[in-house]
Amino acid sequence: MCCQKFDCFTGRIFRREKTDMERETVLVLDFGGQYNQLIARCVRECNVYAEVHPYTMTMDEILKMNPKGIIFTGGPNSVYDSTSPHYDPAIFDLGIPILGICYGSQLMAYLLEGTVSTAPVSEYGKTTVSVNTSSRLFHGIEETTDVWMSHTDYIEKVPDGFMVTATSKDCPTAAMECAGRKLYATQFHPEVSHTREGRKIISNFVYTICGCAGDWKMDSFVEAKIREIRDKVGDRKALCALSGGVDSSVAAVLMSKAIGKNLTCVFVDHGLLRKNEGDEVEAVFGAGGPYEMNFIRVNAQERFYEKLAGVEEPEKKRKIIGEEFIRVFEAEAKKIGAVDFLVQGTIYPDVIESGLGESAVIKSHHNVGGLPSCVDFKEIIEPLRMLFKDEVRKAGRELGIPEYLVGRQPFPGPGLGVRIVGEVTAEKVRIVQDADFIFREELEKAGLAGKAGQYFAALSNMRSVGVMGDFRTYDYAVVLRSVDTDDFMTASCTEIPFAVLQKCMNRIINEVKGVNRVLFDLTSKPPGTIELE
């Protein structure tokens, strides 16, 4: 029995033909910034591997990682407060190119004996800056460009040896650099889409300043990961927690290619799936499907409903569902016999949102923060742990998984348990299943299904008075949600034509018993999460 949660592949998930010392990696050092995952994504879009680590990472650990460059993230603190996160100034003497962003830029200035003070005028949102295009960081950037600011402090005096390379109306040091020491800093956020030429700035840092070749690609990841899994598992057995969603499906096929019949996929129907989904998953992965896998379906609906009875708080629901999943997998593993590994489709947003370093816990994902403290497996394998959703889809295509599976709508592991506000009951599950089916069907008919990143119906805990057929009703309100997103870390509301929403509303109220009101959720992420819980 192992009484801890293993992060088996953290920091070693990508093993290529090159050794770890040779592999190009940019380290993102997290000081509590809300955009740290976006920084990593921007670097990866340059075909350079990036990892996010907390600022508590030691200098020795950094040197072992041998990064081509380091990026300091933003953060909510003031660098001159004694409790704020700092770092050993010796990091600036390593000769490794460093880019400080927002708090990271102020920290660089502060540690190198510049002056950081409360700004006379704070800057939030879209801001126009003038840049020195002779800077290697701003090569090819327009002399006047729009960026995204979010700060109340500013660099009042740059450290000795630094020069100012960008300014705004209210910020005299929108960027600074000491090119000789390969130290660069921006007060603004180049990683967010609102910074018009931000991707180019990140690219300049990665290629021109760090000297990266950009040879990290998904086909290399898939080949290397299969070899790594074979070396790790050998002739031992593994059990894959298969939900039928994109992440677990890609993890299952990857593991199957690596260890073949030593893998058993266990699909737990917890009664919180979308309409008809249990049968659809079995048709794909079970007997007669396109994949020759050991496949077990466990119908555990009543078991989960009993555990969730009377529970309303969403974080508690997630943890109950997460633990019950593990207990079912443990029971199935004992039936199989001598199973050492549990395989999960954990991806990087799960890790980030469940709390990484200084980052806040947004929600405990059932396969990360939702795991119980004691797990009856020797190790947990998470082959996709360091990938974003779009990267998982790319890996799936490299594995030859059909597009209808790779492009499938994301679905949370806790299922409808986090799409039902309040207590979960069989009746509420039936309501949200039927409403969700109608919503997805109408978006497909309207040609919008392939354009939205994720869309679904959820059930609010609100009941209200209505009139149907001259009779008073007192029924639930269904909430429709559709978002546009690439990385699932940020999202904006999908613009759905009113006529389509009107048709969805009419069908749901007429066809789904127990509903008399339909709402549409306009909230972006942030401030909301994609799921409604």
Could you give the CA distance from residue 364 to residue 370 in angstroms, rounded to a whole number?
A: 5
Residues assigned a catalytic role:
102, 189, 191
Instruction: Tabulate helix, strand, coil % of the chain (nearest 5).
Output: 35, 25, 40
Could you give the CA distance from residue 417 to residue 419 in angstroms, rounded to a whole number?
A: 6
Tell me the residue type at 265. Answer: C
Residue 250: half-sphere exposure toward Cβ, Cα within 13 Å:
30
CA angle 360, 361, 363 (to 5 degrees): 145
N- to C-terminal Cα distance for the chain? 33
Residue 378: half-sphere exposure toward Cβ, Cα within 13 Å:
9
CB neighbours of 278 closer than 8 A, spacing ≥ 6? 267, 269, 297, 299
Q: Which whole-number Å values give the CA distances from 348 to 286, 387, 388, 441, 530, in the listed order?
A: 28, 5, 5, 30, 16
Question: Nearest Cα to 240, choosing from 258, 261, 265, 270?
Answer: 265
Question: Which neighbouring-strand residues pair with 26?
Answer: 50, 69
Question: Nearest Cα to 265, choosing from 192, 346, 333?
Answer: 333
- Residue 376: per-residue pLDDT: 65
Peptide bond into 159 cis (omega under 30): no
Could you give the CA distance from residue 19 to residue 2 in angstroms, rounded to a whole number?
A: 30
- Residue 368: per-residue pLDDT: 39
User: Would you call 450 helix, strand, or coil by DSSP?
Assistant: coil
Helix and strand totals (H; E) in the chain = 14, 18
On the question of a common fold for 25-209 and 420-521, the answer reads no
By CB neighbour count within 10 A (0-12 exposed, 13-18 middle, 19+ buried), where does 281 fall? buried
User: What's the pTM value of the predicted model, to 2 decimals?
Assistant: 0.68
CATH 3.40.50.880 describes domain 25-209: yes
Q: Which CATH class is domain 218-406?
A: alpha beta
Could you give the CA distance from residue 443 to residue 401 in angstroms, rounded to a whole number?
A: 24
Backbone angles phi, psi at 264, to 5 degrees: -120, 125
Could you give the CA distance from residue 140 to residue 504 in angstroms, rounded to a whole number?
A: 48
Parallel, antiparallel, or unpaired for β 471-484 and 515-521? parallel
CATH 3.30.300.10 describes domain 420-521: yes
**Low-confidence stretches of the chain (pLDDT beneath 50):** 1-21, 356-372
The answer to whether 240 touches 343, Cβ cutoff 8 Å, is yes
Could you give the CA distance from residue 260 to residue 273 in angstroms, rounded to a whole number?
A: 28
CA 420, chain centre distance (Å) = 22
Tell me the residue type at 366. Answer: H
Tell me the residue type at 154. Answer: Y
Sign of CA dihedral 60, 39, 202, 166: negative
CA angle 425, 426, 432 (to 5 degrees): 90
- Residue 514: per-residue pLDDT: 95
Could you give the CA distance from residue 188 to residue 190 in angstroms, rounded to a whole number?
A: 6
Could you tell me the residue ranges of all domains in the chain? 25-209, 218-406, 420-521
Lookup: tokens for 436: 């969700």
Helix (H) or strand (E) holding 307: helix 301-308
